[in-house]
Structure 1
Amino acid sequence: MEFFNKVGKMALGSRLRLMSTMITDDAAKIYELHGIDFIPKWFPVFYLLSEEKEITITEIANEIGHSQPSVSKIVQEMIAAGLIQENVKTTDKRKNVIVLTEYGLLVLNKLKLQCIDVEAAVEDLIGESNHNLWAALEEWEFLLGQKSLFKRVNEQKKLRESSAVQIVEYNDGYQSVFRALNEEWISSYFKMEEADYKALDNPKEYILDKGGKIFVALYDNEPVGVCALIKMNDPDYDFELAKMAVSNKCQGKNIGWLLGQAVTNAAKELGASKIYLESNTILKPAINLYHKLGFSKVVGRPTPYERCNIQMELQLK
């Protein structure tokens, strides 16, 4: 259709709904063609009852992926149509068991013949088409079960927005931003500590002059994120990844990932073997980011920070 060609994949849901409506409308005519007084939306429940003989509303809902209220409404409609009955005798009195009525069993015999015709018609349609929609639907359902369309769109949004992010090296003009961004996130969860003030008040003396680096993330030329690579006087580690902070208004744009990559790449260029970091497990997005960058947990090292309850390292060589 011309409209969908113009709109493109943005109209995926609308196009699927239109096709679903076309098929559902035809389904109602097909039931009439076979002399069956039946509503298409009843079919999943009816089919389960024909297979299971007796089943509860909860079991039906779980099996067909509908909500329990939705199934309850369909069941009441089918009871009114004389197809099924509930509250039949059962050894487990806690269960509200649903079964087909005698009339429902008669309808089932007609429906079996209808299914033969529908199966054959769909096979013909598949044979006439260049693409097997039935197989594609099964594949799409699996893939969307692994990762929803929402998550996929969110990933693309992050990629698009991150293309507007520029990572630059620190200069004195960024000192106030370096401090403000770090103070913002630290104060949101914890309290500023002596070790924080040393680095944030004197970044040149405490970080740069000792052989470290600081990177600044610019979004639309505005500084919105920072991260430092601090030289360590330690036999086990060359540098520490520290003072990573991203403005609250720019979360979700892959800025932390880009800063982390800039810092780890700089460490490699400086010949580092291992990078160390300290964090807190309540900062779940940060911990996930560190794992994504390749850091793994270590234990038992002394720390100047009260808030530190997890230590991690990244092996570079």
Structure 2
Amino acid sequence: MKFFDQVGKMAMGTRIRFLGDKITQDAAQIYKVYDNALQPKWFPVFYVLSSDGESTVTAIAEYIGHSHASVSKILAEMSKAGLVLEKTDPKDRRKTKISLSKKGKEIANNISDQFQDVGAAIEEISAQTTHNLWAAIEEWEYFLAQKSLLERVIEKKKQRESISVKIESYKPKYKEAFFKLNEEWISKYFKMEQPDRDALGNPKGYILDKGGAIFVATLNGEPVGVCALIKRDDLNCFELAKMAVSPKAQGKNIGYLLGKACIEKAEELKTDRLFLESNTILKPAIRLYEKLGFKKVVGPPTPYERCNIQMELRLNTGN
């Protein structure tokens, strides 16, 4: 079709659905050719019952990868067609056992010729094609199970948009942005505390002059994210802190880029670990820290009321 030639992979879902619809339409007619009163969508449930003798909705759903509701709906349709029977499990009256009816068993006994002919037809198509569709589907299912198409597209979106983001070292002109970006997110979820005011109000004296670093993410020249690396002499390490990203710039991988910049700086400073404090209600932040390699630890007493989780990242700096 010209449409698929022009649109390409963007229409993969539509093309697969078209192919699936065509095969399903043929399958419905094939059942009629062999006088087997089945619908294609019933086949997975029918197969389980013909193989196992009897089962439960939950067991069938788990085996064929359908939802409980989907299997229940199919069984209701099959029951209406007279193909299945239901009975209460005598060992557990909360469970219902499902099995094929006499009519269903007759189809199970007569369907072997259809299986053989359908299998031969598919093998014939496979022999005529360059690519093995069945093997390709298995590969796609495997890799989509590792990371969904949605996750992959979001990842590519962030990568593309992050190209416009620049990570810079702190300059005095960013003092106001460092304060305001942090104040914005802290005030949204918690309240400003004295340690916040100490660090945000005097970044040079509290962070930079003590051997730390601050990084600023800019988008089109505008500061939209910040993060600090604070030297912790009491812990003999550095703390990743004061990370904040403007809501209008979120979803552009900025937090990850700032975190990586801090990690690279920490490695340059030859520290063997990074420490951070956060709160578990900030689920995206916790996921980001985990992506950067941080793991939960039990650390020292914290000066922050809002902190309920501490994490650290071990660095291979040769120390």
Same fold (TM over 0.5): yes
Match of 1:290? 289
Structure 1 stretch displaced more, 17-26 or 134-143: 134-143
Aligned pair 1:273/2:267, yes or no?
Answer: no
- For residues 55-110 of structure 1, the C-alpha deviation after alignment (integer angstroms, 9 at most, x for no partner) is 23333233222333333332233233332333388565443332222222222232
The more displaced of 125-134 and 182-191 is 182-191
Deviates more, 1:161-170 or 1:200-209: 200-209
Query: How far apart, in 2, do the equivalents of 1:280 and 1:155 lie?
Result: 24
1:235 deviation in Å? 7.7
- Of residues 28-37 and 65-74 in structure 1, the stretch that sits farther from structure 2 once superposed is 65-74
Q: Distance in 1 between matches of 2:38 and 2:234?
A: 77
SS of residue matched to 1:95:
strand
1:278 is displaced (CA, Å) by 3.2
Alignment of 1:141-290 (within 5 A): 141-234=141-234, 236-237=236-237, 239-269=238-268, 271-282=269-280, 283-290=282-289
Deviates more, 1:222-231 or 1:20-29: 222-231
Question: CA separation in 2, counterparts of 1:234 and 1:91?
Answer: 63
How far off is 1:275 after superposition?
4.8
Distance across 1 between alignment mates of 2:79 and 2:182: 64
Preserved contact between residue 87 and residue 98 of structure 1 (Cα < 8 Å): yes
Gaps of 5+ in 2: none
Structure 1 segments, 4+ long, off by >6 Å, are none
Higher mean C-alpha displacement, 201-210 vs 165-174: 201-210
Bigger CA drift: 207-216 or 248-257? 207-216
CA deviation vs aligned residue, 1:253-291 (integer Å, no higher than 9, x gap): 22111112222323334x332354331242343344334
TM-score norm. by structure 2 comes to: 0.88
- 1:138 CA drift (Å): 1.8
Q: Structure 1 residues 248 and 128, CA, compared in 2 at 3 Å: closer, same or farther?
A: same
Contact 2:266 2:274 in 1 (8 A): no
Amino acid at match of 1:59: A
Q: Aligned equivalents of 2:168 and 2:254: distance in 1?
A: 12
8 Å contact kept, 2:89–2:95: no
* Paired residues of 2:279 and 2:306 also in contact (CA < 8 A): no
**Segment of structure 1 superposing worse, 300-309 or 125-134:** 300-309
Percentage of pairs with the same residue: 55
Whether the 8 Å contact between 1:56 and 1:95 is mirrored in structure 2 is: yes
Secondary structure class of the residue paired with 1:38 = coil
- Residue aligned with 2:111, SS: helix
Amino acid at match of 2:263: T
Alpha-carbon contact 1:241-1:275 (below 8 Å) kept: no
**Structure 1 unaligned blocks of 5 or more:** none
In the alignment, is the contact (CA less than 8 A) between 2:165 and 2:218 conserved in 1? yes
Contact 2:294 2:311 in 1 (8 A): no
Alignment match, 1:67: 67
